[in-house]
């Protein structure tokens, strides 16, 4: 099972009912707040109690599992399989100029020469006004002539309503959800990222892109500890201030834009496969 979605928990529970062993990929992520993110924090904790093997992406995730009583012999630190996919797709796009040209066509001509901010937002805990506050900050920063924003908008109606302030703005492009190669292109093309996505928190550091995390908590603190990401919650003024600093202060940007990724080296899948083969042989 992969990750912390409700389908992951349901799949693990179904496997338990049928006495099928469960291996949990991306195991051990924790915020220590069962309501943030909701319901993912509880989903992954429940899967931990069912899983036979725990493939932790980082040493911190392994330590979380050890504190919860999981046996060390059942844990393997692998990195995250998402980074495997990211690096593979990135290399594929680099080798195919036709793909790059197709992706470039996503962006309007008047975005040329502007510093691109990639924005995503979809978390349920931001439906009580958080997304509206984030949107107001994005509208303010988009008034700058040197900035353009791309937001692949989640199809959840709550998201669509909350981002109404973004509509009709010259420097803001709202698009339907993009496919993964297009997302990788936008990550590589952007100046920095504003997101509440766990996956993007992991992916952006591979390309040296600073991340402003629009959440109250994160289960991925490693990038923050390295100075590559910053938790800004959904405060309109703080988000605007942090974005302005990354645009106006070269030193602040340089400190957050080192290409370093604590979440994987592109070989997580191989490590997982090797362990599963070893388990099957025993």
Helix/strand/coil (H/E/C) assignment for every residue in the chain = CECCCHHHHHHHHHHHHCCCCCEEECCCCCCCCCCCCCCHHHHHHHHHHHCCEEEECCHHHHHHHHHCCCCHHHEEECCCHHHHHHHHHHHHHHCCHHHHHHHHCCCCHHHCCCEEEEECCCCHHHCCCHHHHHHHHHHHHCCCCCEEEEEECCCCHHHHHHCHHHCCCCCEEEECCCCHHHHHHHHHHCCEEEECCHHHHHHHHHHCCCEEECCCCCCCCHHHHCCCEEECCCCHHHHHHHHHHHHHCHHHHHHHCCCCCCCCCCCHHHHHHHHHHHHHHC
Catalytic residue among 45, 102, 115, 124: 124
Does 154 qualify as catalytic in the annotation? yes
Does 241 qualify as catalytic in the annotation? no
Catalytic residue among 4, 182, 219, 222: 4
Catalytic residue among 60, 122, 133, 189: 122
Does 4 qualify as catalytic in the annotation? yes
Does 124 qualify as catalytic in the annotation? yes
Catalytic residue among 24, 30, 40, 271: 40
Catalytic residue among 30, 62, 133, 154: 154
Does 274 qualify as catalytic in the annotation? no
Catalytic residue positions, numbered: 4, 26, 40, 122, 124, 154
């Amino acid at each position: 099972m992969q990750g912390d979605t409700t389908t992951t928990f349901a799949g693990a529970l179904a496997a338990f009912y049928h006495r099928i062993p469960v291996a949990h990929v991306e195991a051990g992520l924790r915020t220590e707040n069962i309501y943030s993110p909701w319901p993912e924090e509880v989903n992954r904790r429940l899967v931990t109690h069912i899983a036979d093997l725990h493939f932790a992406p980082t040493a911190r995730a392994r330590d979380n599992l050890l504190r919860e009583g999981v046996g060390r012999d059942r844990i393997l630190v692998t990195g995250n399989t998402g980074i495997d996919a990211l690096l593979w797709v990135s290399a594929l796009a680099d080798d195919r100029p036709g793909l790059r040209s197709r992706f470039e066509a996503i962006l309007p001509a008047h975005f040329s020469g502007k510093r691109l901010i990639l924005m995503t937002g979809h978390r349920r805990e931001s439906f009580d006004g958080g997304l509206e506050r984030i949107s107001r900050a994005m509208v303010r920063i988009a008034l700058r002539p040197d900035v353009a924003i791309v937001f692949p908008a989640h199809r959840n109606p709550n998201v669509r309503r909350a981002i109404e302030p973004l509509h009709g703005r010259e420097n803001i492009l709202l698009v339907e959800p993009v496919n993964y190669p297009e997302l990788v292109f936008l990550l590589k093309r952007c100046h920095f990222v504003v997101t509440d996505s766990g996956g993007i928190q992991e992916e952006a550091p591979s390309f040296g892109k600073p991340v402003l995390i629009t959440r109250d908590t994160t289960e991925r603190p490693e990038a923050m500890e390295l100075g590559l990401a910053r938790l800004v919650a959904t405060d309109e003024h703080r988000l605007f201030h942090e974005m302005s600093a990354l645009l106006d202060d070269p030193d602040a940007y340089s400190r957050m834009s080192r290409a370093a990724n604590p979440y994987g080296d592109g070989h997580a899948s191989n490590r997982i496969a090797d362990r599963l083969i070893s388990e099957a042989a025993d």
